[in-house]
Structure 1
Amino acid sequence: MNDWRPSADLDVLRQRASLLAAVRAFFDRRGVWEVDTPLLAAHTVTDPALEPLIVQHCGGSERPRYLQTSPEYAMKRLLAAGSGAIYQIAHAFRDDEQGRWHNPEFTLLEWYRPGLDLDGLMTEVADLVLPLLGRQRSQRFRYRDLFRETLSLDPFTATDADLAAAARRCVDTGGMTGGRDLWLDLLMTHAIEPVLAEQGVVFIHDYPASQAALARCRWLDGVEVAARFELYIDGVELANGFHELADAGEQSRRFAADNRVRRERGLPERETDGYLLAALEAGLPDCSGVALGLDRLLMVMCGAPQLSAVMPFDWQRS
């Protein structure tokens, strides 16, 4: 017999409703207005690490539509149109992501702050999450410093072979092969994140430029870094923030680089989003933005063992 009941207890779902109300009240107090953009769109991300869910023959068209992995592109079009500070509570979709911390459909809080730098945005994220968690403080660490202190390894100057050797000391990699970012990611997940589990609310910033995604890059202490941060709470990754890239030419080059990687990996190429590039050409205001997983935040708040325990209906019951 099919289990028709919710994945989460009703008490947790009431807490979920309170969380959504608290988020909306937070932004209302700060004059940030809520927007609502399409879930189905003509384009999707080129990022080789993300696969969208696809709807074929949508609306009678031969072209597919994509369930959005985040509302970022559409929100940036609003910013370029002069919206000012905006936020959205959106359902987002990512294929092949299911497990304790993942569900193919999840709830994402995303917001953008024109005129706010990355330090200011980290402060605002802390202002939001600390009271919700009943905590008093957060910490900030540079990506480079964490690797030096935890692994006695400089992630910017170590050779690929050094990084691979360090990763193999942390985890059984079998016959795994790959580039520099693969080894950095393995070291982050298997060596750094376990240390963060004891550190409470932590922001990591100034990632390698190769991991910039849609963030600007800058030079710091002789190395190029991405103006990007991630938020961890008790070792759980909850948010990803950028000083947003506004250069249409650079964004186009990054899209092309993503598609080269997709070809190398045997993945389908993705058509670049001309709407986004045109919006950047028109002029994206200097701004910072962040996406925060609300389901994961509620997990931490409730002490829930898995994502399905805080969702009305998880993937298996939807």
Structure 2
Amino acid sequence: MPESSWWSPHRHADRRPILLARNRIDAALRQYLVERDFLLVDPPGLQRSPGNETHLHAFGTTMIGNDGEGKAMYLHTSPEFTMKKLLAAGERRIASFQHVWRNRERSALHHPEFTMLEWYRAGEDYGVIIEDCLAMLRLAAETTGAKKLQFRGREADPLAEAERISVVEAFARYAGIDLLATIDADGIADGDAFAEQMTERGLSVPEDRSWSYLFSRVLVEKVEPNLGLGRITVLDRYPACEAALARRAADDRRVSERFELYACGVELANGFGELTDPEEQRRRFAAEMNEKHRLYGEQYPIDEEFLAALAIMPEASGVAMGFDRLVMLATAAPRIEMVLWAPVAE
């Protein structure tokens, strides 16, 4: 018997306390949602489109009809499209615990199949969603008895007042980059202006000088390691060009109602004040897929039913939280496989 397999009795015995904690956190979060009048829904994983963001990579498959003809389908990278259709149908507060699939992703914090907790509030500001997130982090720690969330020597106190910082402020503080100086009044970003600032600050500039790539690189290398240390960080008001599914901020078209939640340098959640303009959403999806084709030589179809649903969807806010990562931080697990009942084979 392979001693290194996850199902080896001694390895399972080591992981079992964490897995039982996972189940307790799952039950506690479901209770939190039900007590606040959320309906738990169950979107299908098989979709016409897996999502239309440049750097999200899907698993494709073929659905064979009764006539024997095949049709390209995908495993979703998020239940977002289906859940927004349910908002258009008339639901007001919905949530789901869903397995989702993302290709090209495997590391201590990434797994090709993982559990996403996603929820939406129709007619409510995204600030309420942020408060939901903070409450859930506290609840997860309380459920396991953890005084601090932990990941590889880093800690965050879920009971301390959260830090709320804009993306613009974070880039200035940790990288010396003036983001708004690289974005015009309509939110159009200039990669050359970004690269020039990087050079002035002694940062290496890669061959790909597209604004989005430079933004992601500086975010990962300079900004994210400083977030969620000692307390939770809410990284808020993303540049509009980095928020394909969020509406723009009312006071500044260069930024959007998008936030991410960090603890111990780990991103836990990604939320929006939701965009409900189907024509604007179509333009953004087309731009994302053009960039995906440029970088990776592939693109995914646009879900026309989703765009039709946006036309009648109410104003809403929503968020996706990496449930497995939350369990990791509440149990101090060093790798995501430690908190999965059965990891995907290498």
TM-score, structure 2 as length reference: 0.85
2:290 maps to 1:260: yes
Paired position in structure 2 for 1:228: 258
Paired position in structure 1 for 2:94: 86
2:178 to 151, 154, 158: 154
2:60 maps to 1:31: no
Contact 2:121 2:317 in 1 (8 A): yes
Query: Within 5 A, what are the aligned runs for 1:113-152?
Result: 113-134=121-142, 135-137=158-160, 138-152=162-176
TM-score, structure 1 as length reference: 0.92
How far residue 279 of structure 1 moved from its aligned partner, in angstroms, is: 0.7
Contact 2:237 2:258 in 1 (8 A): yes
Aligned CA distance change for structure 1 residues 34 and 187 (closer, same or farther; 3 Å): same
Aligned CA distance change for structure 1 residues 255 and 151 (closer, same or farther; 3 Å): closer
How far residue 190 of structure 1 moved from its aligned partner, in angstroms, is: 1.2
Size of the aligned set, in residue pairs, is: 312
Give the whole-Å Cα distance in 2 for the aligned partners of 1:4 and 1:17: 18
Q: Residue 111 of structure 2: SS of its match in structure 1? A: coil
What amino acid does structure 1 have at the position aligned with 2:242? Q
1:209 to 235, 240, 245: 240
Give the whole-Å Cα distance in 1 for the aligned partners of 2:228 and 2:52: 31
For residues 144-196 of structure 1, the C-alpha deviation after alignment (integer angstroms, 9 at most, x for no partner) is 11122223331111522234326863xx66x5323112222121111112222
For residues 71-95 of structure 1, the C-alpha deviation after alignment (integer angstroms, 9 at most, x for no partner) is 0000000000001100000000001
Give the whole-Å Cα distance in 2 for the aligned partners of 1:248 and 1:112: 18
Contact 1:202 1:231 in 2 (8 A): yes
Paired position in structure 2 for 1:186: 217
What amino acid does structure 2 have at the position aligned with 1:184? F
Q: Larger deviation: 33-42 or 126-135?
A: 126-135
How far residue 5 of structure 1 moved from its aligned partner, in angstroms, is: 0.5
Give the whole-Å Cα distance in 1 for the aligned partners of 2:210 and 2:202: 14
> Unmatched 5+ residue regions in structure 1?
none
Give the whole-Å Cα distance in 2 for the aligned partners of 1:19 and 1:44: 28
Give the whole-Å Cα distance in 2 for the aligned partners of 1:58 and 1:69: 21
Aligned CA distance change for structure 1 residues 72 and 308 (closer, same or farther; 3 Å): same
Give the whole-Å Cα distance in 2 for the aligned partners of 1:58 and 1:275: 21
Contact 2:45 2:99 in 1 (8 A): yes
What amino acid does structure 1 have at the position aligned with 2:199? A
Aligned CA distance change for structure 1 residues 79 and 61 (closer, same or farther; 3 Å): farther
What amino acid does structure 1 have at the position aligned with 2:173? E
Contact 1:156 1:223 in 2 (8 A): no
Percent identity over the alignment is 32
Give the whole-Å Cα distance in 1 for the aligned partners of 2:48 and 2:224: 36
How far residue 115 of structure 1 moved from its aligned partner, in angstroms, is: 1.5
Give the whole-Å Cα distance in 2 for the aligned partners of 1:49 and 1:165: 25
2:69 maps to 1:40: no
How far residue 12 of structure 1 moved from its aligned partner, in angstroms, is: 0.9
Give the whole-Å Cα distance in 2 for the aligned partners of 1:259 and 1:238: 25
Give the whole-Å Cα distance in 2 for the aligned partners of 1:46 and 1:167: 33
Contact 2:140 2:327 in 1 (8 A): no
Paired position in structure 1 for 2:344: 315
2:328 maps to 1:295: no
Q: Larger deviation: 129-138 or 80-89?
A: 129-138
For residues 257-307 of structure 1, the C-alpha deviation after alignment (integer angstroms, 9 at most, x for no partner) is 1222123225222211011011112x1111000000000000100111110
